Amino acid sequence: MFTGIIETMGTIEGIAHEGSNVHYRLSSKITSELKIDQSLAHNGVCLTVVAIDNDQYTVTAIQETLEKTALSQWDIGDKINLERAMRLGDRLDGHMVQGHVDEVATCTHIEDQNGSWLFQFEYSKSSKNMTIEKGSICVNGTSLTVVGSEANRFGVAIIPYTYEHTVFHQLRVGDLVNIEFDMVGKYIAKLR
C-alpha cells in the first residue's frame, strides 16, 4: 500500500529483455536503504526489488504489467517517481494507492498558470473508470486532486514543489502516464 506522496526520483540506468520480461536497472539516493523483495512504486507501478548492486537496483516487469502501463516507453536516462510502501502507523498524507495501474492516459494539455501548472489527461472512451471533481487520482504514482472532471478526461493542478520534485517537470503533451483511479470510488462503482 502506498500514499501517492513521491519520496524521490530514480534514474533508469539499464534495460534488459529476457523472454517477455523486462529488467530495469535504476539508481537512486535511497538505493542503500532498499532490500531484496521490497515493494517500490515506480511511476505508480508496484515493482519488486530483485537485485541490488552498489548504488543501483533492479526490478522486473512481466508482460501483464508492460501491457497495462507506460513502462514500455521508459528509456535509459529517464527520471522515475519512487515511493516505498507505507508502514503501519504512518500518516496517510495522500490517499490509499495500491500501485496497481488501472490504465494509461495521454497528456493532452499543459498550461503554465504563472506559479502553478494545469495538466489535462484523456483516457479510453470505453473505460469504465471515472473521476469526480475534487476526488483523488494517482498520476505516475503522484496523489493528486481532480480538476475539471469529464467523461474520460480530467485535469490536475500542480504546485511548484510537486512540479520540481516529481516527473511532472519533464512531462510533455502526447506522453503516456500511468493512472490509478481512487480505490474507494472503484469499490463504490462496483456495488452499483
Average pLDDT of every residue of the chain:
92
Locate the domains of the chain by residue range. Answer: 8-84, 103-191
98 confidence band (pLDDT: 50, 70, 90): confident
C-alpha cell at 170: 519533464
For residue range 7-60, list pLDDT tens digits in order. 999 999 999 999 999 999 999 999 999 999 999 999 999 999 999 999 999 999
- The pLDDT value given to residue 1: 82
C-alpha cell at 116: 502553478
Pairing of strands 79-84, 56-61: unpaired
CATH topology of domain 103-191: Elongation Factor Tu (Ef-tu); domain 3 (2.40.30)
State which H helix or E strand residue 160 sits in. Answer: helix 160-165
- The pLDDT value given to residue 90: 73
CATH topology of domain 8-84: Elongation Factor Tu (Ef-tu); domain 3 (2.40.30)
Average pLDDT over every residue of 116-133: 92
- The pLDDT value given to residue 191: 67
Q: Do domains 8-84 and 103-191 have the same CATH topology?
A: yes
For residue range 172-188, list pLDDT tens digits in order. 999 999 999 987 766 67
Pairing of strands 56-61, 21-27: antiparallel
Q: What is the pTM for the complete model shown? A: 0.92
